[in-house]
Amino acid sequence: MLAYLIRRLFAVVLTLMVVILVTFGIFFIIPKWTGVDPATMYVGKQSDAQAIEAIRQKLGLDDPIVVQFWDFLRGLFMGRDYTSGADTVHCSAPCFGYSFRNEQPIWPVLTDRLPVTLGLAGGAALLWVIGGVVTGIVSALKRGTIWDRTVMTVALAGVSLPIYFTGVVSLAIFSYQLDWVSNEYTEFGTDPALWFSGMILPWVTLAFLYAAMYARLTRATMLEVLGEDYIRTARAKGLREPVVIGKHAMRSTMTPVLTILGMDLGALVGGAILTETTFSLPGLGQAAVAAIGERDLPVILGVTLLTAGAVVVANLIVDLLYAVIDPRVRLS
């Protein structure tokens, strides 16, 4: 068990290293081919050769990529100083980098945005798991009926709708036309009611998409499980049908659902790009898109790393959880 964990954690670290390396490559090497000096993006309307040189130095842009990579890694664990001339900025560990656009370390930017994304993902997940799983089960139990066909067609329609379409349509109706909800993120601490009002549409639209997927998944799994021998055994014992479904069938049905949920949540932590863009939520995904637009490499790197980390860790958790749920799974 311990050996397994150590090995998995090692794999996690390795994966993240590769992710950093690749991200580094994309944003350092390719721009070099295109002949654009990254330092020029930090100077204003009136650029000054001295300023460009200073920024290049401060960012270490002249160092070989290996050195830059090493500096970044060291910064992650030990923090680092950005020095140019007499001015030194300290970025304490975990130092994901320092944004010269905002004159602040990246980590607080990320931690600032993380709650938004977590709030979005968490709230939506609650809705879609309940909605998707319940409809999926009911559909499975009413297989072939009008209910089933209707729900499954709607679910198929659901997975066919891009969120930036449903999102904007819902905004047009509920925010612009009816003015029921706000189209701007308010922090929970500032005003919980406003926060809630601003989150409803993102939650519902995102949850609708996922609920559709989960309903399909749950239905299919449930149908498969209902065909299992042990369900017949449970019935043969004289168990009431709600117990058969609720205890025996659910336990098996939830395993794949939980797996997918873990991975989806992991991916959503950094990946609710479209939802956040559509609803102007200042989460990680939006930060990433904005950072790509601004070539704010430290932020891109930070979000990418955080996202990849979330996915990999979610995978690990799912695997561990699997071992808890399914006694047949041995961690080795």
Partner 1 sequence: MTTHRTSKRRLAAGSAVVVAALLTTAGCGGGDKKSEGSGPGFNAAQNKIANPSDKKGGTLKFIGTQDADSWDPQRGYYGFVWDYARYYTRQLITYKPAPGAQSKELVPDMATDKAKISEGGKRYEYTLRPDLTWQDGKPITSKDIKYGIERIWAQDVLSGGPIYLKDTLDPKGEYKGPYKDKHPEKLGLKAIETPDDKTIVFKLPKPNGDFEQMLAMPAASPVRQDKDTGSRYGQKPFSSGPYQWVSYEPKKSMVLTRNPHWKKSSDPVRKALPDKVTLTLITNSDEMDKRLIKGDYDIDLNATGIGQAGRVEALRKHKGNLDNPMTGFIRYAVFPQTVKPFDKIECRKAVIYGADKQSLQTARGGPQAGGDIATNMLPPVVKGADPKYDPYGALENGGAPNTAKAKEALKKCGHPNGFKTTIAVRNNKPVEVATAESLQASLKKIGIQAEIEQYDGSMTAGIIGNPAYVKKHNFGIIIMGWGPDFPTGQGFSQPLVHSKYILDNGNNNYSMLNDPKIDAKFTQAQSELDEDKAAKIYTEMNKLVSEHAVYLPFVFEKNVIWRSSRLTNVYTADSFNGRYDYQALGVVK
Partner 2 sequence: MTTESTPGAGGAVSKADGRPSTGAVTKASGRPARRAGAVGEPTTAGAPGTDVFLDVRDLKVHFPTDDGLVKSVDGLSFQLERGKTLGIVGESGSGKSVTSLGIMGLHTVGQYGRGKARISGEIWFDGTDLLAAHPDEVRRLRGREMAMIFQDPLSAMHPYFTVGAQIVEAYRVHHKVDKKKARRRAVELLDRVGIPQPDRRVDDYPHQFSGGMRQRAMIAMALANNPELLIADEPTTALDVTVQAQILDLIRDLQTEFGSAVIVITHDLGVVAELADDILVMYGGRCVERGPAERVFYEPQHPYTWGLLGSMPRIDRDQTDRLIPVHGSPPSLINVPQGCAFNPRCPYADVPADNRTRTERPELKEVGSRHFSACHMTQEERTRIWTEEIAPKL
Partner 3 sequence: MTAPLHDTSAAETAAVDVAANAPAKEIAGRSPAQIAWVRLKRDKLAFVGGSIVLFLILVAIFAPLIVSWFGHPPNEFHDGPETIDAFGGGQPVGDWGGMSKDFLFGVEPTNGRDTFSRVVYGTRISLIVAFLSAIFAVLLGTVFGIIAGYFGGVVDTIISRTMDLLLAFPQLLFILALVSVVPSELWGLSGSGVRMGVLIVVIGFFGWPYVGRIVRGQTLSLREREYVEAAQSLGAGRRYILFRELLPNLVAPITVYMTLMIPTNILTEAALSFLGAGVKPPTASWGQMLSTAVRTYEIAPMFLIFPGLAIFVTVLAFNLLGDGVRDALDPKGNR
165 binds, among partner 1, partner 3, partner 2, none (CB under 5 to 8 A by kind): partner 3
d(CA 300, CA 41): 15
- Is position 286 an interface residue for partner 1 (rule: CB under 8 A)? yes
Report CA torsion sign: 113, 118, 121, 126. Answer: negative
What DSSP letter does each residue of 229-242 carry, written as one string? HHHHHHHHTT--HH
* Nearest residue to 1 via CA among 254, 304, 236, 319: 319
For residue 176, give the DSSP letter: I
- Is position 264 an interface residue for partner 3 (rule: CB under 8 A)? yes
- Is position 200 an interface residue for partner 1 (rule: CB under 8 A)? no
Buried b / exposed e across 181-190, counting CB within 10 Å, b at 16+?
bbeebbeeee
Q: What is the 3-state secondary structure (H, E, C) of 38-68?
A: HHHHHCCCCCCHHHHHHHHHHHCCCCCHHHH
Q: Binding to partner 1 (CB under 8 A): which residues in 116-155?
A: 145-146, 148-150, 153-154
For partner 1, the binding residue among 2, 33, 46, 238 (CB under 8 A) is 46
- Is position 87 an interface residue for partner 1 (rule: CB under 8 A)? yes
Q: C-beta of 52: minimal distance to partner 1 in Å? A: 6
41 binds, among partner 2, partner 1, partner 3, none (CB under 5 to 8 A by kind): partner 1
Q: Which residues bind partner 2 (CB under 8 A)?
A: 140-145, 148, 226, 228-241, 244, 248, 251-252, 325-328
For residue 189, give the DSSP letter: T
Output the CA angle 130-135-136, nearest 5 degrees.
100
- Per-residue binding letters, 289-308, with partner 3 (x by CB under 8 A): x--xx------x--xx--xx
Q: C-beta of 210: minimal distance to partner 3 in Å? A: 6
Q: C-beta of 164: minimal distance to partner 3 in Å? A: 5
In three-state secondary structure terms, 98 is strand
* Nearest residue to 93 via CA among 110, 105, 77: 77
Residues forming the site for partner 3 (CB under 8 A): 15, 18-19, 22-23, 26-27, 30-31, 33-34, 144, 153, 156-157, 159-165, 168-169, 171-172, 176, 209-210, 213, 216-217, 219-221, 223-224, 256, 259-260, 263-264, 267-268, 270-275, 277-278, 285, 288-289, 292-293, 300, 303-304, 307-308, 311-312, 315
